[in-house]
């Protein structure tokens, strides 16, 4: 089966062509046009700019994707498009584009939940899989623990009450003067931290780590970083620290200090994520843990969670938004369900699993 999938839920315009056969996949093309440069000056995604860029990029990305896959549209068996969750103006651009193509090419079109795509991103690599499983989904918009009882059977057992993990990374990066998107920048900085460089200890809270539920909260952690920066500026840790170190160009604080803050912040997020995931995995007696979403690109999170459980990881290139993962999810959906009337597909920014 050849599947063409379209993903425009946030700020990446992505189209992939996937060949699927008996749960084995071959990616014929996977094109992602990132809008990072457009949104970076605003420090976050601007919905109307995203919509404008998607409209401009979709035909170009489609052309590239078909050319790289070396495929005639006639050979496509199924089309898929992300219908939510995400930014509705962005989602609609992909849906409208997909509907027009499906009509023109006379193809069935299936709507896919973006989060289901992140879960299925691990299947681009993994062959074996056992239920029940627990997925930790961590992205710019979501932080969720999802119990997967069987194929396509989900129960969200916990989620963030405020900021998503990726959002917290992005906001803390902004406070530290690091560029958008902040997750990879904070991770890079954290890698530079060497314990011997630190002349004092920084400790940030691990919010809700001991709460009995499986919910998360990262806004307090972000505020704790804000207060820490205020204290540093006020010289609470000694003015020597700021005046003696070599400053990175454009940063308010010396880079070893930024590295230390990043390392502690990253570890605080990881500690909470791992603690809740492992507890949930034990309670629900799961056989596998899946990590998905943009924050799953974080090497420390991958390593530390992998040390504690039987973990399935997507390849780093499939952690952030892409259409290959949407195509895989579409394959599993199409195996189990009849493809509905595509004319009725609608964007739902708050779609849940």
Residues near ligand KG4 (CB under 6 A) are: 10, 139-141, 166-167, 169-170, 181-184, 187, 293-295, 297-298, 320-321
**C-beta of residue 237 within 8 angstroms of C-beta of residue 245:** no
Q: Which does 184 bind (CB under 5 to 8 A by kind): Zn ion, ligand KG4, none?
A: ligand KG4
Which does residue 183 touch among ligand KG4, Zn ion, none (CB within 5 to 8 A, set by kind)? ligand KG4
Q: In 15-46, which positions are buried (b, 16+ CB within 10 angstroms) versus exposed (e)?
A: bbbbbbeeeebebbbbbbbbbeeebeeeeebb
Instruction: State the minimum distance, in angstroms, from the CB of residue 183 to Zn ion.
Output: 12
* Contacting residue, 321, 323, 326, 329, with Zn ion by CB under 5 A: 321
Alpha carbon 37 to chain centroid, angstroms:
18
Residue with nearest beta carbon to ligand KG4: 294
CB nearer to ligand KG4: pick between 141 and 207: 141
Provide, rounded to whole angstroms, the least separation between the CB of residue 181 and ligand KG4.
4
Q: Residues 177, 278: contact at Cβ < 8 Å?
A: no
Query: Locate tokens 């970083």: which residue?
Result: 225
Decide whether 8 or 255 has the Cβ nearer to Zn ion.
Answer: 8
CB of 263 to ligand KG4, least distance (A): 12
* Cα distances (angstroms) measured from residue 273 to each of 136, 137, 149, 230: 8, 10, 21, 27
Question: Shortest gap between Cβ of 332 and Zn ion (angstroms)?
Answer: 18
* Smallest distance from Zn ion to CB 293, Å: 6
Closest residue to Zn ion in the complex (CB) = 139
88 touches, from ligand KG4, Zn ion, none (C-beta below 5 to 8 Å by class):
none
Q: How far is the CB of 344 from ligand KG4 (least distance, A)?
A: 24
Tokens at 6, concatenated: 């379209």
Select 170 or 248, whichever has its Cβ closest to ligand KG4.
170
Q: Which of ligand KG4, Zn ion, none lies near 314, with the C-beta cut-off 5 to 8 A by kind?
A: none
DSSP string covering 61-125: HHHHHHHHHT--GGG--EEEEEEESS-HHHHHHHHHHHHHHHHHHT--EEEEEHHHHHHHGGGGT
- Interface residues for Zn ion in 102-161 (CB under 5 A)? 139
Residue closer to Zn ion (CB basis): 13 or 255:
13
320 CB-near residues (< 8 Å, 6+ apart): 12, 294, 297
Q: Residue 185 or 321: which CB sits closer to Zn ion?
A: 321
Provide the CB-side half-sphere exposure for 330 (13 A, CA). Answer: 32
Q: Minimal distance in Å, beta carbon 49 to ligand KG4?
A: 16
Q: Which does 158 bind (CB under 5 to 8 A by kind): ligand KG4, Zn ion, none?
A: none
Lookup result for tokens 């595509």 = 342
Binding-site partner at residue 298 among ligand KG4, Zn ion, none, CB < 5 to 8 Å by type: ligand KG4
Q: Cα separations (Å) of 196 from 185, 186, 192, 241?
A: 22, 19, 12, 14
Q: How far is CA 111 from the centre of its chain?
A: 19
User: How far is the C-alpha of 7 from the C-alpha of 171, rounded, in Å?
Assistant: 25
Which two structure tokens, joined as six digits, stand for 287?
Answer: 């056989």
Q: Taking the complex as a whole, how short is the minimal distance between the CB of residue 257 and Zn ion, in angstroms?
A: 31
DSSP code at position 9: S
| Cβ distance to ligand KG4 smaller for residue 90 or 342 | 90
Site for Zn ion in 218-247 (CB under 5 A): none
Q: Binding residues for Zn ion, per CB under 5 A?
A: 139, 321
């Amino acid at each position: 089966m050849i599947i063409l999938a379209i993903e425009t839920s946030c700020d990446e315009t992505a189209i992939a062509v996937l060949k699927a056969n008996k749960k084995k996949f071959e990616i014929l093309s996977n094109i992602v046009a990132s809008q990072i440069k457009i949104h970076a000056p605003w420090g976050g995604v601007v919905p109307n700019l995203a919509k404008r860029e998607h409209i401009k990029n979709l035909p170009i990305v489609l052309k590239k994707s078909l050319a790289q896959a070396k495929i005639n549209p006639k050979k496509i068996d199924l089309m898929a498009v992300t219908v939510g969750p995400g930014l509705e103006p962005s989602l609609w651009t992909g849906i409208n584009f997909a509907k027009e193509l499906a009509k023109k090419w006379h193809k069935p079109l299936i709507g896919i939940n973006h989060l289901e795509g992140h879960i299925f991103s691990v299947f681009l690599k993994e062959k074996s899989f056992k239920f029940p499983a627990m997925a930790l989904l961590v992205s710019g918009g979501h932080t969720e623990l999802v119990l997967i009882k069987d194929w396509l059977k989900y129960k969200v057992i916990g989620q963030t009450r405020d900021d998503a993990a990726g959002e917290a990374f992005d906001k803390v990066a902004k406070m530290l003067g690091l560029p958008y998107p902040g997750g990879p920048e904070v991770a890079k900085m954290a890698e530079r931290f060497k314990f011997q460089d630190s002349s004092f200890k920084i400790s940030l809270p691990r919010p809700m780590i001991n709460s009995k539920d499986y919910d998360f909260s990262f806004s307090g952690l972000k505020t704790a970083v804000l207060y820490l920066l205020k204290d540093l500026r006020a010289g609470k840790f000694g003015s020597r620290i700021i005046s003696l170190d070599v400053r990175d160009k454009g940063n308010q604080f010396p880079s070893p200090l930024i590295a230390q803050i990043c390392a502690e912040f990253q570890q605080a997020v990881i500690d909470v994520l791992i603690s809740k995931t492992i507890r949930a995995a034990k309670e629900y007696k799961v056989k596998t843990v899946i990590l998905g979403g943009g924050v799953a690109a974080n090497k420390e999170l991958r390593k530390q969670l992998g040390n504690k459980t039987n973990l399935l990881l997507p390849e780093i290139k499939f952690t952030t938004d892409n259409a290959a993962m949407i195509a895989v999810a579409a394959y599993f959906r199409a195996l189990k369900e009849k493809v509905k009337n595509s004319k009725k597909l609608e964007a739902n920014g708050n779609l849940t699993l």
